[in-house]
Amino acid sequence: MRVLSAVWAAVAAVVVAGSPAVAQAPEGVRDVDWRNAEFTVPRVGPCPQQPVPFTDGAAEVGDWVYRFTPEREVEYADVTGEGVEDALLLVECGPRNAEYSRALVAVTEGPRPLGTVVSPPTWRQVPQSCTVQDGVIAVEVEDFDTGGTWTERYRWAQSAQAFVRIDA
């Protein structure tokens, strides 16, 4: 549906302007080289939502240092139920020379942020991986102090335009 809208906009531009126009489909999340892209990163621990220009999976914006969690792949799934794949990214952020907080964030095509799926309250608890089934995001969280792990489940709440925990 979104591609058809872009095509109709291009046709209208040709009719109005009398010259060719190029229709550009929205960039799908699988087309993005996330570790070398600039996009708005949702809140990660103490770091605010803001545009971040990544190079080789790392970036600095103001006093904040961002990086993709090493050795973790980007996950792709439709987490909003809109029929469009979204990207789930494990991103770390913190002030220079300090411990980083880690969060699982979701970004959709454009790319534009959907929000933070989970950002534990302390840097000692970190999301390690996720799976998605029927719109439910299962996140494995590890506690560095105890070595224990547990699974938390989240779902996109259209009415709140945010991810909500559904197993609490």
Q: Output the DSSP codes for 102-118.
A: EEEEEEETTTEEEEEEE
Number of domains the chain is built from: 1
In a domain, 59, yes or no: yes
Give kind and range of the element (H or E) at residue 154.
strand 149-157
Token pair of 62, please?
Answer: 């103001």
> pLDDT (tens digit, 9 = 90+) per residue, 52-99?
999 999 999 999 999 999 989 999 999 999 999 999 999 999 999 998
In a domain, 82, yes or no: yes
Res. 129 pLDDT band, cuts 50 70 90: very high
Q: Where are the alpha helices (DSSP H) in the chain?
A: 2-17
Angle among Cα 43, 100, 56 to the nearest 5 degrees reads 85
In a domain, 150, yes or no: yes
In a domain, 11, yes or no: no
In a domain, 156, yes or no: yes
The Cβ of residue 74 has, within 10 Å, a number of other Cβ atoms equal to 15
Give the predicted TM-score (pTM) of the model: 0.81
In a domain, 1, yes or no: no
Token pair of 79, please?
Answer: 């987490």
**Domain enclosing residue 55, as ranges:** 27-165
The percent of residues in the chain predicted with pLDDT above 70, rounded, is 84
Res. 111 pLDDT band, cuts 50 70 90: confident
Q: Where are the alpha helices (DSSP H) in 18-96?
A: none
